[in-house]
A and B are shown apart, each in its own frame.
Chain A
C-alpha cells in the first residue's frame, strides 16, 4: 500500500475523529453485499468502495464483496432484514433500481422503511438517444411525434418493462405533455443490458435508446449515437457538456441513477452514524474522486437523514407514475 504519508495521517486522523465522535468501534473486517452477479453496477459499487475503505484505513482488515443475485436485489433485501438485522459491519449496495422495485411492490411484503439508508456516492444520469441517421434532431421533435402517435417511436433499454429505463421515457413523456391515456401505448423493448439495446438502435432495428450516460458514451464518441437529452438538473461536466439537458428543452425530467448503500434496520445509532460519516469522508477523498472520474460517475452526494428523505421521495414519485400508467394497481 503506497500513498503519501500526509494522506495516511489525514485518513487516520479522520478515522480517529469519527470514532471519537460516535464512540463506536467498527470491527476489523466488513462485508458488502452486491445483490447481483459479478460484473454489474452493484458489484462495482461494492468492490470500488470496499477498496477505498481499506486503502484509507477505515476498515483495517478486508471488505469482502459477497454476490447475492436474485429478484433484482430482493433476495439480498430480504436476507438483510431477516438474517442480518443488527450486523453493524454490513453494507448493501443499492441504486435507483432498488427504489423502483420497492415502489412497485416487487419485493413482496417489504418497503424502504425496513432498512436504514446510509448515503449515495455518485450517480449515472439518464439519457434518451437515437442513431445518427434518425430524423429526430431534438427531444422536442421526438416528443411531438409521440404526441401525434404514441406508437411512432419504439424504445429499447436494459431494464425490464416497467423498470427504471422504461420509466425515464414515461417521465419525460409526461412532462412533455403526452396524454396520460397514451403513455402506456409508448412501446418499450426490454433487453438484457443497455449495450444490447444500443446495438439494436445503431443497427437500425429500433428508433431510440433509453438508458444511462455511461452506457451511451462509447457509441457517442464514435458518432453512431446521437444523445437528444440528458436527464440531469444541469449540464454534465466536460467533455459531456455539449449534450443539452431535457430541462433546457422545456421537458422537466430528471432521472439520476444513484449508487449508494443501506444497512440493516437494527444497528445502533452510533454504528449508523459511523457509516454515514465514513461515506461522507470516502466521497470527499481523492481516491474516490479518482474512481468517479475514471468510471464516468457524476457528482451526487446525499447521506444520513437527507438521503433517507430523498429515497422516500423517489419511491413516492415512482409509485405515482407507475400507478398512473397502470404498472401497479
Chain B
C-alpha cells in the first residue's frame, strides 16, 4: 500500500503540465535519434544532458526528459530495422529478422504497428515489474557471481543456433568471428594488450556500434550498388495500415512472454537489452515451433524482440537505481546524470530520494503512453520513407551513419573500420553466413571470458566452482536442454518440413 502511495505521489510529479511537455519532447526526440543508424539511446541521452543542465531544469524534470528520450530511442531503433533492414542500435538488430521481410511483403505499416504495440506492452510490464519487484530483484541480482554469469552467457551461446538460418555450422562460424573480433584490445584480467599492434585506437577494442553500422548499413549499400542504381533492390510496396484486432490478439501472448524474458535479462547487470531481445526471439521461435514462419515475416518475430528489448531497457533501471550498476551504455549515462544531480544511486536511493524515483517511474508510464499515441498515427509518415527512391535514400542513410560513427570518438580510424565491416558484411551475406551471431559474439564474448577467469581466480583454478550453486546448476540445465533438444527433435521436424519446401530468402541467409 505504501508503494501505491508513493506511486500516486510520483504521478502528481509527472503529470504537471511542464513535466508532461518534457516527456513528450523527450519521446519525440528519442524516437528520431533511435531511428537514425549509428545513434542509439546512449548517444541520445548524452547529447541531451548538456541541454538539461543549461536549461537549469530541476532534478525531476531533467530525469523525466532523459528517461523519455531513453524510452523513445528504444522505440525508434526498430523503424530503420523494419523499413531498411538497418538496425538503429544494437537491441533493434533482432527486429530486422522478421520486420524487414514483412515490409518486403507490403506489410510495413503492420510491422511498425505491431512493434509499437509490443514495445508498449514490454515497457509497461517492465515498469510494473520495476515498481513491484525492484527491491527484491536487487537482492536476487546479488546472488549472481562470476560462475552464474558464465553459465548465463553460455546459455546465450547455446541457444544461438536457434535464431538464424538452417546451417548450424555457418552460425558457429559467424559467432566465432565475433568472438575473435572481441579479443582485440586490452585484456583487463591481466592488463596485457591483445592484437593491438601499438595502435592506440585499438586498445579499448572495436566498438559494437561500428561493427553494426558497417555490417548492416554499409553492406546494404553495397548490395544496392550491385543491383544497379535506380532500379532499387526489392520493390517495397506501400500500404495503408490494415491491422485487425485479430492480428493484435495473435501477437499478445508473444509480447507477454517476450516482456517477461526481456525484463529478467534487463535486471541482470551486464546482460542488457540486446540479450533481452535475442533471448525473446529464440524462445518465441521454439515455443511457436513449426507453425511459425520466422525469418520470413512472421509478426510474432517482430513482437517478441520488441517486447523483449523494451522490457529489458526498463529492467536495466533496476540494477542502476538499486545497486548503482549500469546494465548498459545508456544506463551508464543516466547514472552519471543522477550523480551530477547529487543523487547517489544505490540501496538507499528508494528511501533517500523516494519522491524523485517514483516521479521517474511514473514518468515512464506516462512516456510509454505518449509513445504509443505518437507512434500509431506517425506510421503513415514513416512508411512514406519507403517511397523515396533508394538511390536518394541510401546515400543519406550512409551519410547519417558515418556522421554518427565519427561523432562517437572523432576518429577517422573508426570510419575505415566501418567500411571494412561493410565489406566483410557483404562477403558474409554472399556466403549466406548470418550477421547477427557476429555481433552477439562481440557483445557476449568478453563478458563470458571475464566471468570464467574471475570464477577460476576465486576458486584458485578449481573448475567445480562453475556448478557449485543451485542457481548455476539451473542455468546449465536450461543451456544444455537448449543445445541438445534441436538435435533430438530436429530430424523429426525436418522430415515433416521436407514436404513444405520453404523458399529461399535473401535476408535471413
Contacts and interface: CB of A to CB of B under 8 A. Distances in A.
Interface string A154-198: 100000111100000000000000000000000101101101101
A224 B270 contact: no
B255 to A, nearest CB: 31
Nearest to A189: B454
B201 A154 contact: no
Contacts of B408: 67, 69
Interface in B192-217: 198, 200-201, 203-204
Which range holds the interface residue count of chain B?
Answer: 35 or more
Given A195-B324, A198-B324, 9 more contacts: A37-B329, A38-B42, A51-B53, A67-B46, A71-B203, A200-B146, A206-B458, A217-B344, A222-B348
Contact of A75 (B145, B340, B411): B411
A44 B454 CA distance: 30
B336 A43 contact: yes
A146 to B, nearest CB: 15
Contact of A218 (B141, B142, B145, B349): B349
A47 B348 CA distance: 26
B410 A74 contact: no
Nearest to A106: B203
B405 to A, nearest CB: 13
A66 interface: yes
Interface of B: 42, 45-46, 49-50, 53-54, 141-146, 186-191, 198, 200-201, 203-204, 269-270, 319, 323-326, 329, 332-333, 335-336, 339-340, 342, 344-349, 352, 408-411, 450, 454, 457-458, 460
Contacts of B410: 66-68
Contacts of A40: 336
B465 to A, nearest CB: 10
B457 A74 contact: no
A65 B348 CA distance: 31
Nearest to B148: A205
Contact of A200 (B145, B335, B345, B409): B145
B458 A154 contact: yes
A199 B189 contact: no
A168 B270 CA distance: 26
Closest 10 CB pairs of A and B: A218-B346, A205-B145, A71-B203, A38-B46, A203-B142, A222-B347, A162-B191, A39-B336, A294-B342, A160-B188
A72 B203 contact: yes
Given A193-B326, A203-B144, A219-B347, A75 B200 contact: yes
Contact of A199 (B142, B329, B339, B411): B142
B200 A70 contact: yes
Interface residues of A, number: 54
6 contacts: A38-B46, A39-B332, A39-B333, A70-B200, A200-B146, A219-B324
A294 B54 CA distance: 17
Given A162-B191, A203-B142, A222-B346, A192 B324 contact: no
B325 A72 contact: no
Interface in A271-329: 294-295, 327
Contacts of A108: 198, 200
B143 A203 contact: yes
B272 to A, nearest CB: 12
Specify which of A39, A51, A196, A294 lies most central, judged by the most chain B CB atoms within 10 Å of its CB.
A39
